[in-house]
């Protein structure tokens, strides 16, 4: 064995033994039996990455499908790709539901049949998701004077990739597969810098321009024809906790953005407040109160408002 590949060079046996000890300690502390043997217990990011790429191709075959695809074989490609992707997604859903049952110490017997039911529902919703995504693509095309075609938007815009992932992830989230949903969202986050929690409710014709640094929280509600720019945050103002200091989960804590709102770059909007229909929120605004419909909020008028209250 060469010096470069010699395990002795790194004292690997001692390191492997130490890592096994660390794993066993963690499992003991978290109620896991270190004596259990078996296969993978959690869904795979790598598997979900492949599944999402296949779903994107099936949703937009002539744009996001294989380079040599022809229209006459489009339906065959979509059917074959969906069969592959949905079968793989079913396997991941089974892993999540079995894991959830173990964590809650409930019966795992129905996990596989429930996974099948959920993925069948997901599959049936794909045509509706495609129609919804078409509104997002058109919103990006019409909302950006630099866009030369809807094809350019779909192929190039990070906001479109993020919203495709979100539409798919949101269905998984609502179906009761929050881990698969979160993996799907985080894959888009890693690729685009746009962080949309899969729980966020987003209406049609949604456009994120540029997109880097956008954060949209779990309980945010966004209406129709909303446009936001880079570095916008729709976040929580505070987190409530119980008497032990543990955070309450799932409480409404993110903004409601009504129809036809525009939010410019760098704006931070926090808490369960409402941005009224047709409002414009200027760049770098820090907002923690509701504003009525057709408001025009800038740093300047916020400063004047604060001075008037003194």
CATH number at residue 248: 2.160.10.10
* Co-location of 165 and 266 in the same domain: no
Residue 9: inside a domain, yes or no? no
Closest to 250 in 3D by CA, of 297, 201, 199 = 199
* CA terminus-to-terminus distance, the chain: 78
* Co-location of 64 and 129 in the same domain: yes
* Co-location of 279 and 175 in the same domain: no
What mean pLDDT value characterizes the chain?
Answer: 92
Residue 303: inside a domain, yes or no? yes
* Co-location of 53 and 177 in the same domain: yes
Residue 259: inside a domain, yes or no? yes
d(CA 28, CA 35): 10
- Cβ-in-10-Å burial (0-12, 13-18, 19+) of 248 comes to exposed
* Co-location of 138 and 220 in the same domain: no
Closest to 43 in 3D by CA, of 198, 182, 196 = 182
* Co-location of 129 and 218 in the same domain: no
Q: Find the length of the chain.
A: 310
* Co-location of 67 and 179 in the same domain: yes
Q: Domain total for the chain?
A: 2
- Cβ atoms 159, 211 nearer than 8 A: yes
d(CA 22, CA 190): 29
d(CA 267, CA 263): 7
Residue-wise pLDDT for 15-71, tens only, equals 999 999 999 998 888 776 544 556 678 999 999 999 999 999 999 999 999 999 999
Range 157-180 average pLDDT: 98
The pLDDT value recorded for residue 10 is 86
Count Cβ atoms below 10 Å from residue 105 Cβ, excluding itself. Answer: 7
* Co-location of 258 and 155 in the same domain: no
What percent of the chain has a predicted confidence (pLDDT) above 70? Answer: 92
CATH number at residue 188: 1.10.3130.10
* Co-location of 176 and 219 in the same domain: no
- Total-model pTM: 0.89
Q: Which domain holds residue 306?
A: 213-310
3-state secondary structure 33-90: CCCCCCCCCCCCHHHHHHHHHHHHHHHCHHHHCCCCCCHHHHHHHHHHHHHHHHHHHH
* Co-location of 60 and 109 in the same domain: yes
* Co-location of 141 and 170 in the same domain: yes
């Amino acid at each position: 064995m060469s010096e470069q590949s010699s395990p002795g060079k790194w004292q690997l046996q001692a390191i492997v033994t130490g890592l096994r000890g660390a794993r066993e300690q963690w499992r003991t502390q978290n109620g896991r039996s270190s004596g259990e043997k078996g296969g993978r217990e959690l869904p795979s990011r790598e598997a979900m990455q492949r599944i999402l790429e296949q779903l994107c191709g099936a949703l937009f075959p002539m744009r996001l499908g294989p380079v040599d695809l022809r229209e006459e074989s489009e339906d065959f490609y979509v059917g074959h790709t969906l069969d592959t992707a949905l079968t793989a997604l079913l396997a991941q859903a089974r892993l999540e539901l079995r894991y959830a049952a173990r964590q809650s110490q409930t019966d795992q017997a129905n996990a596989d049949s429930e996974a099948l039911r959920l993925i069948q529902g997901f599959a049936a919703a794909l045509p509706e998701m495609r129609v919804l995504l078409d509104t997002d693509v058109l919103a990006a095309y019409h909302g950006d004077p630099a866009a030369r075609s809807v094809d350019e938007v779909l192929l190039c815009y990070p906001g479109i990739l993020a919203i495709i992932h979100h539409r798919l992830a949101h269905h998984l989230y609502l179906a009761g597969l929050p881990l698969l949903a979160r993996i799907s969202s985080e894959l888009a986050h890693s690729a685009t810098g746009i962080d949309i929690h899969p729980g966020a409710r987003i209406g049609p014709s949604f456009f994120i321009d540029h997109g880097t640094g956008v954060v949209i929280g779990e309980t945010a509600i966004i209406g129709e024809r909303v446009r936001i720019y880079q570095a916008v945050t729709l976040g929580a103002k505070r987190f409530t906790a119980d008497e032990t200091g543990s955070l309450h989960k799932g409480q409404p804590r993110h903004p409601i953005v009504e129809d036809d709102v525009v939010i410019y770059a760098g704006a931070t909007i926090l808490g369960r407040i409402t941005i009224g229909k047709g409002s414009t929120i200027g760049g770098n605004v820090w907002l923690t109160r509701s504003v009525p419909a057709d408001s025009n909020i800038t740093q300047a008028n916020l400063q004047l408002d604060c001075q008037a209250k003194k």
